[in-house]
Amino acid sequence: TYVVTDNCIKCKYTDCVSVCPVDCFYEGENFLVIHPDECIDCGVCEPECPAEAIKPDTEPGLEKWLSINADYAKVWPNI
């Protein structure tokens, strides 16, 4: 799965949301997250993010962000 990381905080772009083929982005007040069970790992959103906030969870050190994405995707609205 892909995960949204700290560069997304207060970012106002939603280019990632527009390109996601399975609509698996969820939105909080100042941050977006990706639902890890819905992401199909297509990778399309990563280069679209102007803040370079989206990364594959295969990158080392992203465990914290993966768990943040999973937790908030359950409670925030889908966009």
- Binding segment for ligand SF4 (CB under 6 A), chosen from 7-15, 34-42, 65-73, is 34-42
- Type of residue numbered 67: S
- Euclidean distance between CA atoms 54 and 63, whole angstroms: 14
Q: Does 34 bind ligand SF4 (CB under 6 A)?
A: yes
Note whether 49 and 16 are within 8 A (CB): yes
Nearer residue to ligand SF4 within complex by CB, 8 or 39: 39
Site of tokens 């914290």:
64
Name which position in 40, 59, 64, 67 contacts ligand SF4 (CB under 6 A).
40
Footprint on residues 49-78 left by ligand SF4 (CB under 6 A): none
